[in-house]
Amino acid sequence: MFKPSLFKPSSRLGFCLIAAALVLLPFVVGGVFGDTWVRVIDLALLYIMLALGLNIVVGYAGLLDLGYIAFFAVGAYLYALLNSPQFGLFLPIWVILPLGALVAGIFGILLGAPTLRLRGDYLAIVTLGFGEIVRIFMNNLNSPINITNGPQGISGIAPFKIFGTSLSRPLEIFGFTIPSVTLYYFLFVFFALLIIFVSLRLQDSRIGRAWVAIREDEVAAKACGINTRNVKLLAFAMGASFGGVSGGLFAGFQQFVSPESFGLMESVMVLCMVVMGGMGSIAGVVMGGLLLTVLPELFRHGAGPVQKAVFGKVLVDPESLRMLLFGLSLIAVMLYRPAGLWPEARHKHEIADAKEEGEKA
Amino acid sequence: MSILLEAKQVGKRFGGVQALKDISLTINKGEIYGLIGPNGAGKTTFFNVLTGLYVRDEGSLYFDGQPLPKGEPQEIAAAGIARTFQNIRLFTHMTALENVMVGRHIRSKSGVIGAVLRMRTTRAEEEAIRSRGMELLRYVGIDARANEMARNLSYGDQRRLEIARALATEPKLLALDEPAAGMNATETVSLRALIESIRADGVTVLLVEHDMKFIMGLCDRIAVLDYGQKIAEDAPDKIQRDPRVIEAYLGASHE
């Protein structure tokens, strides 16, 4: 009923245009701005996958999760352990990624099970604790038996190999060189589209309706015969498995993982993407993920030259300015578009209702 | 007549307060059974115990010959008891049709894999859920508003939608918690007609109500609760003359 039109192109032409844009994007960006920016887009795609996973938990089922990055960590470490000299294991990615989704999904259930009775603030605190526990485990599982290498992290992770072609080296076809970041781009686009597809299908299903029903009124959902326990656990598991896939891709891309990539700030960042983009809206969440990854980079690279042009010298260190600008833009979006940049129709109504009630009071 | 629901010495405490004590009653198949009593008598508590939203402390419930579990609302809904709420609880930001479709959840079974692959069985099931939803909206008379957000429906229509959602779970017993509350005279008359047609279609109805006129003309039998205890159970005309009931409602006469 509320299908975002962007991903449901009514015409074949629209579909072709989007496909062409997705294919050409890295070449245009790489050619004009350099491969650094293709790398930024790669990271944005990873964040988009994360945000879509969190969107299932927060956007659809209405369960506030502040420890979501833990599932990203689980996926990343699983990849790192099974495809690096750490244990001397080098399993193919077609084994590791599904396994990562599965293990992260199990972690999702582990987090979900004790929190079934909690909502809102209380749930947020417990999930925050869970996220920290996972990070601290990664940090300390180097003794008595060394599993995660502790704070040093795991390096030397084998890059992605697809049909024997490593994605970490430029690929030459027909005298044309495709840089590594662009190869990763295509891999990530594939997985992001897969996750978008799964999200869309779930949204319009019996399960998706049950999630929204729980978000709207849990007591009524129970009275309708929905097994809220199982349906919530399913939301946690589905969301977590997206995080696990994304984590595995991240580990193969960076070829290095360490606990500091999985702090609370990262969870908050992903939550910002979901909320700023528009909870429950797939198009919005994709947009949120893209903007919140690209904007800080734009500020980082743009703040220096702009100051030089205006004032003749750099007054404020771009590094410190960028988080300020970033924070201000978040505040501006939330003030002027409280339902998100591209809201789901339902949420738009909810925010409008809350506003009306606020004005009456 | 065969018994559909049997309550035996059902009790519920909240801390030191005995909200329900020794409630025993039987509802026959095909009846419209009323539950009345002054404010705070425990009518809604009984509803919540019956539908599993509260866990009963004492006693047992038998439904269609089977014991009902404690708590576990989804199992009770599956067994065939559906309810509405005193203060309407719709999924306000879903459309009317979607609300009823949620009611079909328990009578359908597509999972994640079916949804993602959109298999033939899933598509067929989804189509069946949708058409049954429309049918029920037509049955309660609000099919013209199917794609309207539930929150935008009028009060009377919201009540009807809640009944349609409850009927979607295919109940044997439909429990209505003050369905006529806040309705005007016309709405009340058509609600009564709706309840009678639901009964005519083979669903037993349990009704909690404040509006005496409404309940007297509609119910086959009535139980009266006061301070968490059942003080009378009889046909409406006898209940009206029962001195205990009059005392409960109007206070004891003092010489």
What is the arithmetic mean of pLDDT over B110-119?
Answer: 90
Residue B141 C-alpha, separation from nearest chain A C-alpha, in angstroms: 21
Secondary structure (3-state) at B57: coil
Size of interface A-B (CB pairs under 8 A): 109
Residue B10 C-alpha, separation from nearest chain A C-alpha, in angstroms: 20
Contacts of B139 (CB under 8 A, 6+ apart): B164, B167
Q: State the best of B112, B121, B129 to mutate against chain A, taking most chain A CBs within 10 Å.
A: B112
The CA-based angle B155-B161-B165, given to 5 degrees, is: 150
Of the partner residues B53, B111, B151, the one whose CB lies closest to the CB of residue A222: B53
* Residue type at A223 in one-letter notation: A
Secondary structure (3-state) at B230: strand
CA neighbours closer than 13 Å in the CB half-sphere of residue B110: 28
In terms of CA atoms, which chain B residue is nearest residue A210? B102
**How close are the terminal C-alpha atoms of chain B, in Å?**
44
Do B105 and A225 lie within an 8 Å CB cutoff? yes
Secondary structure (3-state) at B239: helix
| Whether the Cβ atoms of residue A165 and residue A273 lie closer than 8 Å to each other | no
In terms of CA atoms, which chain A residue is nearest residue B119? A201
Of the partner residues A209, A223, A353, the one whose CB lies closest to the CB of residue B98: A209
Look at residue A163 and tell me whether its pLDDT is greater than 50: yes
Look at residue B184 and tell me whether its pLDDT is greater than 60: yes
Residue B253 C-alpha, separation from nearest chain A C-alpha, in angstroms: 42
Look at residue B205 and tell me whether its pLDDT is greater than 60: yes
In terms of DSSP bridges, do strands B32-36 and A256-257 run parallel, antiparallel, or are they unpaired? unpaired
Contacts of A14 (CB under 8 A, 6+ apart): none
pLDDT digits (tens, 9 = 90+) for A116-134: 888 888 999 999 999 999 9
Look at residue A178 and tell me whether its pLDDT is greater than 60: yes
| Residues A25-46: b if buried by 16+ CB within 10 A, e if exposed | ebeebbeeeebebbbbbbbbbb
Of the partner residues B103, B111, B112, the one whose CB lies closest to the CB of residue A224: B103
Residues of B in contact with A212 (CB under 8 A): 91, 93-94, 98
pLDDT band per the 50, 70, 90 thresholds, residue A307: confident
Q: What six digits make up the tokens of A27?
A: 């070449």
> Residue A161 forms beta bridges with which residues?
A166
Cα(B174)–Cα(B160) distance, rounded to whole angstroms? Answer: 13
User: What is chain A's length?
Assistant: 361
Note the pTM of the prediction, 2 decimals: 0.90
Looking at residue A3, what is its pLDDT?
44
Cα(B166)–Cα(B39) distance, rounded to whole angstroms? Answer: 25
Look at residue B143 and tell me whether its pLDDT is greater than 90: yes
| Whether the Cβ atoms of residue A243 and residue A266 lie closer than 8 Å to each other | no
The CA-based angle B202-B203-B208, given to 5 degrees, is: 145
Question: Which backbone phi and psi does B143 adopt, to 5 degrees?
Answer: -65, -25
Secondary structure (3-state) at A88: coil
Look at residue B252 and tell me whether its pLDDT is greater than 70: no
Comparing A137-151, A308-322, A346-360, B160-174, which segment has the lowest mean pLDDT? A346-360
pLDDT band per the 50, 70, 90 thresholds, residue A354: low
Which residue, among B77, B72, B5, B67, has the nearest Cα to B35 in the 3D structure? B5
Q: State the best of A102, A209, A219, A224 to mutate against chain B, taking most chain B CBs within 10 Å.
A: A224
Look at residue A1 and tell me whether its pLDDT is greater than 60: no
Do B73 and A222 lie within an 8 Å CB cutoff? yes
In terms of DSSP bridges, do strands B204-208 and B173-177 run parallel, antiparallel, or are they unpaired? parallel
Q: What six digits make up the tokens of A37?
A: 């920016």
Of the partner residues B126, B149, B165, the one whose CB lies closest to the CB of residue A349: B149
Give the position of tokens 């009823």. B100
| Whether the Cβ atoms of residue B89 and residue A217 lie closer than 8 Å to each other | yes
Looking at residue B213, what is its pLDDT?
81
Of the partner residues B104, B112, B151, the one whose CB lies closest to the CB of residue A234: B112
Residues of B in contact with A223 (CB under 8 A): 51, 53, 73, 77, 82-83, 85, 89
Residues of A in contact with B95 (CB under 8 A): 1
Do A353 and B151 lie within an 8 Å CB cutoff? yes
What is the arithmetic mean of pLDDT over B93-106?
Answer: 95
pLDDT band per the 50, 70, 90 thresholds, residue A360: low
Which residue, among A230, A288, A352, has the nearest Cα to A54 in the 3D structure? A288
DSSP B87: S
pLDDT digits (tens, 9 = 90+) for A96-113: 999 999 999 999 999 999
A170: cis peptide before it, omega within 30°? no
What is the arithmetic mean of pLDDT over B195-212?
Answer: 92
Looking at residue B62, what is its pLDDT?
95
DSSP characters for A114-172? GGTT--HHHHHHHHHHHHHHHHHHHHHTTSSS-SS-GGG-EE-PPPPEETTEETTS-EE
Which residue, among B32, B132, B73, has the nearest Cα to A218 in the 3D structure? B73
Which residue, among A58, A108, A80, A67, has the nearest Cα to A263 in the 3D structure? A67
Q: What is the mean pLDDT of chain A?
A: 88
Cα(A248)–Cα(A227) distance, rounded to whole angstroms? Answer: 32
**CA dist B171 → A123, B133, B167 (Å):** 34, 15, 6
Look at residue B253 and tell me whether its pLDDT is greater than 60: no
Which residue, among A17, A44, A51, A47, has the nearest Cα to A199 in the 3D structure? A51
Looking at residue A143, what is its pLDDT?
82
Of the partner residues A209, A228, A234, the one whose CB lies closest to the CB of residue B102: A209
User: What is chain B's length?
Assistant: 255
Q: What percent of chain A has pLDDT over 70?
A: 93
In terms of DSSP bridges, do strands B173-177 and A165-166 run parallel, antiparallel, or are they unpaired? unpaired
Residue B91 C-alpha, separation from nearest chain A C-alpha, in angstroms: 5
Give the position of tokens 């502790």. A150
pLDDT digits (tens, 9 = 90+) for A217-269: 999 999 999 999 999 999 999 999 999 999 999 999 999 999 999 999 999 99
- Continuous segment of H or E residues that includes residue B81: strand B81-83
pLDDT band per the 50, 70, 90 thresholds, residue B71: confident
Cα(A333)–Cα(B185) distance, rounded to whole angstroms? Answer: 48
- Continuous segment of H or E residues that includes residue B203: none
DSSP A7: G
Cα(A333)–Cα(A340) distance, rounded to whole angstroms? Answer: 7
**How close are the terminal C-alpha atoms of chain A, in Å?**
33
Give the position of tokens 């008891």. B81
Look at residue A94 and tell me whether its pLDDT is greater than 70: yes
What is the arithmetic mean of pLDDT over A28-42?
Answer: 91
What is the arithmetic mean of pLDDT over B136-146?
Answer: 95
pLDDT digits (tens, 9 = 90+) for B20-65: 999 999 999 999 999 998 888 899 999 999 999 999 999 999 999 9
Contacts of A93 (CB under 8 A, 6+ apart): A79, A83, A160, A161, A162, A248, A252
What is the arithmetic mean of pLDDT over B209-225?
Answer: 87
Residue A316 CB neighbour total at 10 angstroms: 13
Looking at residue A2, what is its pLDDT?
44
